[in-house]
C-alpha cells in the first residue's frame, strides 16, 4: 500500500511543480502533499461512512444508529490512514496510539458532528442557502480545521531528547 501513497506523492509533486512552479524539495510542497493525502483519506472516510450507513439502514437499523456506526467506522479508518501515511505517526507506545485515536475521534466529532450541524442550521435556517448546497460550504471550513487539529494536536509527537 505504501507504493500507492508514493505514487500519489509523485503525482502531486509533478502537478504542483508544473502548475505552481514550487521546488519539489520545498516545505510548502511537503505540506501540500500532506493536505492532499488528508483529503484523499477524508473522501475514503465519507464513502465508508455512507456505505456502513446504507448497510445498517437496509438491515433495519434506525437511521441515527446507522449514522453513528458509520461515523465510528470512518473515524477508525481516518486514524489508520492518517497515522500511517498522512502524518507518519510512528509511536510504538500503546498509550500514545490510544491518545492519538481519542484525539482523532474528538477532532472529527467536533468538526464533523458538532460544527457541521451548527453551520448547517446557520446556512439553511438563517441565510436560506439550499439544503443541498449548505453541506458543501461546510467542507470549506471543516476540512482545513480538521487538518490543523489532526496535524498539530492529534498526531503531534513529542520530540525525544
**Do the beta carbons of residue 89 and residue 155 sit within 8 Å?**
yes
Spell out the alpha helix ranges (H) of 59-133.
63-81, 94-108, 116-121
* pTM for this model (two decimals): 0.70
Parse the chain into domains and list their residue ranges: 41-154
pLDDT given at position 160: 46
**Residue 55, SS3 per DSSP:** helix
Length of the chain: 161
pLDDT given at position 58: 92
User: Cell numbers at residue 12, please?
Assistant: 502531486
User: Cell numbers at residue 94, please?
Assistant: 500503546
Distance CA 125, CA 9 (A): 41
Distance CA 4, CA 113 (A): 30
Query: Across the 161 residues of the chain, what is the mean pLDDT of every consecutive 10-residue run?
Result: 77 77 73 85 88 90 83 89 82 79 81 80 89 80 83 68 45
Opening angle at CA 110, ends 156 and 66, nearest 5: 115
pLDDT given at position 120: 81
pLDDT given at position 60: 92
Amino acid at each position: 500500500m505504501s507504493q500507492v501513497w508514493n505514487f500519489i506523492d509523485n503525482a502531486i509533486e509533478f502537478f504542483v511543480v508544473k502548475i505552481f512552479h514550487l521546488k519539489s524539495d520545498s516545505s510548502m510542497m511537503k505540506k501540500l502533499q500532506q493536505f492532499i493525502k488528508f483529503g484523499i483519506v477524508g473522501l475514503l472516510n465519507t464513502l465508508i461512512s455512507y456505505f456502513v450507513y446504507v448497510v445498517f439502514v437496509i438491515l433495519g437499523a434506525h437511521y441515527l444508529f446507522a449514522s453513528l456506526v458509520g461515523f465510528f467506522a470512518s473515524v477508525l479508518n481516518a486514524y489508520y490512514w492518517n497515522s500511517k501515511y498522512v502524518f507518519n505517526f510512528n509511536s510504538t507506545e500503546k498509550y500514545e496510539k490510544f491518545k492519538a485515536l481519542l484525539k482523532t475521534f474528538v477532532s472529527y466529532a467536533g468538526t464533523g458532528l458538532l460544527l457541521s450541524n451548527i453551520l448547517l442550521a446557520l446556512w439553511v435556517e438563517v441565510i436560506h442557502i439550499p439544503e443541498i448546497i449548505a453541506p458543501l460550504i461546510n467542507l470549506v471550513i471543516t476540512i482545513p480545521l480538521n487538518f490543523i487539529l489532526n496535524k498539530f494536536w492529534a498526531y503531534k509527537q513529542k520530540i525525544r531528547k
